[in-house]
Amino acid sequence: MHDDRKLVEARLERVLRERIRPAVHPATTPLAVEIWSTPGEPVPVAEGLAAPTRPITPGTPWGTPWGTSWFKVTGTVPAEWAGRTVEAVLDLGFTPRTPGFQCEGLVHEPDGTPVKGLHPRNAYVRVGSPVAGGEQVHWRIEAASNPDLDASGVPFQPTPMGDKETAGDALQYVLGEMRLAVFDETVWNLVMDLEVLGELMAELPLDGARRWEILRAVGRALDAIDLHDVNGTAQAARDELAGVLAAPAVPAAHRISAVGHAHIDSAWLWPLRETVRKVARTASNMTALLEDEPDFVFAMSQAQQFAWLKDHRPEVYARVKKAVAEGRFVPVGGMWVESDTNMPGSEAMARQFVHGKRFFLEEFGIENDEAWLPDTFGFAAGLPQIIKAAGSTRLLTQKISWSRTNTFPHHTFQWEGIDGTRIFTHFPPVDTYNCEMSGRQIAHAARNFKEKGFATRSLAPTGYGDGGGGTTREMVAKAARMRSLEGAAGVEWEAPADFFAQAEAEYPDAPVWVGELYLELHRATLTSQAQTKHGNRRSEHLLYEAELWAATAAVRAGFPYPYEQLDRIWKTVLLHQFHDILPGSSIAWVHREARETYARLAGELADIIAGAQHALAGEGTRELVFNAAPHARRGVPAQGASAEAGEGGAVTPVPREGGGYVLDNGLLRVEIDGRGLVVSAYDTVADREAIAPGQAANLLQLHPDFPNQWDAWDVDAFYRNVGSELTDVAELGVDGTSVRVERVFGGSRVTQLLSVPLDAKRLDIDTEVDWHETEKFLKLAFPLDVKADRYASETQFGHVHRPTHQNTSWEWAKFEACNHRFVHLDEPGWGVAVVNDATYGHDVTRAVRTGADAGTTTTVRASLLRAPRYPDPETDQGVHRFHHALVPGAAVGDAVREGYRANLPERRVTGAAAGVAPLVTVDNDAVVVSAVKLADDRSGDLVVRLYEAHGGRARAVVRVGGFGAGQAVLTDLLERPLADAEPPAAADGAVVLALRPFQLVTLRLPRA
């Protein structure tokens, strides 16, 4: 037999493109179109509907960047179309490049009722099936002319289009055809048949009979089509395909649970306000599709996005609530947003689940059992415990498939966190969260699945995201054909909970992965947009203080606890932890607004703190020092206040022989040379030098930073090949009790203040950078005389250990990693901590010195600033302030304490009281209080959250003073009693706890 395979395949491609697809709409008639463009920001629907319009014709430019236009579309269904299916095809000027990321629209009835969203690959609106003829069509379309930042076709090019303040007013789009059309369902189904079979055929082995059976059936179908009468011969062609479409899948075929999905970034290449509208368009689209497709199931995550619908588009929200009640529009994830999980602090990560799950419970009566984070840039090792403490047991993500160095060995597994908690986790082997139901994707999922022989199921999130409108009718049709189709994986629409239940049942002994799920990509998101990161860190600690002091004042002084205000602020902070805001990978508009928001929240929280502390201090002139940290310091109790506090202060610098200065408090002697570099940090108590011989700390290093792609996201390993050390000094002198160092380089200036406190082994370094570099990476280096094979980085409710060596590719790939407040490394009996108040990215390397010493130098470098030009060409330009501390002789407990100290400064308040006793005391410094607050249900109960912070077993006595407390109750993060937990032990009115390493505990104490 002659091999005519390529001939048939090429024939199929051309006939589909040029004859069959165009025949889906065999008759069309134009609609009349008028337009009104808003002069500024989007207007309410009623205003858009009432606005005066003017005629516009196809081919006319419209839409300034980030503008909104309202189109009026009218027409009449021709009488001769009676009995036919009719729909409108409405082209706003879409480009074929992407399904989202460009102009988008929401169709309304004249009374403002939303109909469905318009997107480049979903531009139809059904008129009737069948029509009577003569129907009047009248719609209003709210259209957003969002600029396509990659319209040039060259990715990652700097552009001013990422902020309305710099985008200009050139019109972005050219209006396409707006037409009524007859919809030939038979031809459309033929298109679906041929696409499914053609895509499947391309994935089958050439030496298998099934590929050739399909090829011959396709050839017969193409023969059956009259190319000049496609509509009249489409059914005959379908008949030729019926046999190969009816052949069932083999029993061992991989099973795919498809779930409708529309991954919508809560901000990215558009501002937050546009996401509100993207969600409304997509939800309108999906509720309409659910009405047309009885087997279809759609899932949407992010409680914030549901809340936006509720607040801004209640009519769309009503449709969503109805579909949720029917079990077909499924809220998933149980988080406020799909947040970053590396950088949010312990409480913030917990509150993502508290606020997300509570919203779904209160609005829909639904308790989510899964975390849903398909696009987050890696997962911190503390997350499993948080997921479980929120009452969930499962996680879905896909992003780890983006790793560039190592291939993750599992698709379904148990993920074990730092405390031993295990979470059933699934990575969809389809390797996308925007599955289109193509034959290539389905075949890839089946081939790629790493659990073959142990498990048979995977999940496929299906639909276009980010304004692409979600799942399409074409995807649903393809899934129907692949429900059981020989040669393909079996596809069935299922809710995520159903998939997880079946996956767990068939794979009860799934393999275990211990520790963080590190993404070997997007490492620079730990540093980009430093002011956004500083705002997040500051907001987290201000919220901690506000809750602590407000709760203390409520119990002690009747202070009105600001429930609504704290709830609103928490949700705002959580929103800004979304995985393209906090990581710094959004457009300039997003980060400009974030800076403004953080400043506003800081003012509000400062007012709450001041009001509560004033209520506790009373009226008077005595100075009280308030210490919010969970550790006592300088005579001030943890989470209390005292008028008897020590003065603190720092030692006075003295000149150093050979130039520079010495800071010596009897515990620590620091030598700063004439270059402003720390050449010695000598632990006098331990008789031990911290700085490696011949090296200098407080060393600023500058690298070129031009990754191969994903500018704001990535730093590639080759950045380390070239760099310069900033050792030239513009000014070196004394400023009070600090050594002041100024350096000038490029267009930038750095000012540092170095000081040593009177009573602690700590070197404080305050750095101000007026940054005007581009495509550069600034690091702050501490070369330490410590031989350590691993080091500790703080993460949520504990710390994670990482190797300092690069024995394997897995270790080499972690050349930039995340820490919260500290990095700690040690030899037995002696260690060093590097503490920060606002940075997350860092690297740790080791080298063996040559010569007689032959010791090991372990260098910790904090990542300060980057300067990528996409998507924000002015990233990080301006003034930044950082605080770091070098703590020689530190055990890990010292690192924990110093980390809180750096982030929770003392506050001084005048009043009448001699002190304020802590509301909560813990007798073991290894057990750290992370939250003191009143219960969210407004019962007045006190809620205390604490965790074991050192990584060992700990026994602690927890006392609450100031009110008569009932029996303490162990609760989950949502402050609900744990059903299987014994009441904590009590002794002498206190709670006695025995904690495992890094164990998290939430106590609820009723107020008698």
Catalytic residues, by residue number, are 375
Sign of CA dihedral 526, 530, 535, 537: positive
* Sequence-distant contacts of 448-455: CB under 8 A, at least 24 apart: 448/411, 449/254, 449/411, 450/409, 450/410, 450/411, 451/410, 451/411, 451/412, 451/507, 451/510, 454/507, 454/510, 455/412, 455/503, 455/506, 455/507, 455/510
Q: How far is CA 429 from the centre of its chain?
A: 21
CA distances from 7 to 266, 486, 769 (A): 46, 24, 65
Q: Quick check: 383 and 973 in contact, CB under 8 A?
A: no
- The Cα–Cα gap between 803 and 859 comes to 13
- The Cα–Cα gap between 606 and 213 comes to 73
Q: Which residue has the tokens 């290449």?
A: 269
Helix (H) or strand (E) holding 826: strand 822-827
Two tokens at 577? 């932890």
Can you state the angle between helices 530-557 and 563-575, rounded to 10 degrees?
160
Two tokens at 103? 């102009």
Q: Quick check: 930 and 946 in contact, CB under 8 A?
A: yes
Q: Residue-wise over 591-623: b if at least 16 C-beta within 10 A, else e? A: bbbbeebbeebeebbeebbebbbbbbbeeeeee
Give the residue among 792, 691, 754 at the shortest CA–CA distance from 885.
754
Q: Quick check: 176 and 73 in contact, CB under 8 A?
A: no
By CB atoms closer than 10 A (0-12, 13-18, 19+), residue 873 is buried
- The Cα–Cα gap between 725 and 729 comes to 12
Q: Which residue has the tokens 């509208």?
A: 277
Give the residue among 356, 321, 320 at the shortest CA–CA distance from 338.
356
3-state secondary structure of 648: coil
User: Which ranges constitute the DSSP H helices of 204-328?
Assistant: 209-224, 230-246, 272-292, 303-312, 314-325
Q: Quick check: 123 and 474 in contact, CB under 8 A?
A: no
Pairing type for strands 370-372 and 394-396 reads parallel
Q: Which residue has the tokens 């710099």?
A: 166
Give bridge partners of residue 662 from the DSSP assignment: 654, 671
Q: Which residues contact 142 (CB under 8 A, 6 or more apart)?
A: 42, 45, 48, 68, 70, 105, 106, 108, 277
Two tokens at 889? 């002789």
Q: Quick check: 934 and 561 in contact, CB under 8 A?
A: yes
Residue 830 one-letter amino acid = W
- Length, in residues, of the chain: 1008
Q: Quick check: 958 and 946 in contact, CB under 8 A?
A: yes
Can you state the angle between helices 272-292 and 473-481, rounded to 10 degrees?
50
- The Cα–Cα gap between 302 and 275 comes to 12
Distance between start and end Cα atoms, the chain = 90
Residue 175 one-letter amino acid = L
Q: Which residues contact 722 (CB under 8 A, 6 or more apart)?
A: 703, 704
3-state secondary structure of 718: helix
Q: Quick check: 880 and 586 in contact, CB under 8 A?
A: no
- The Cα–Cα gap between 788 and 805 comes to 9
- The Cα–Cα gap between 922 and 937 comes to 25
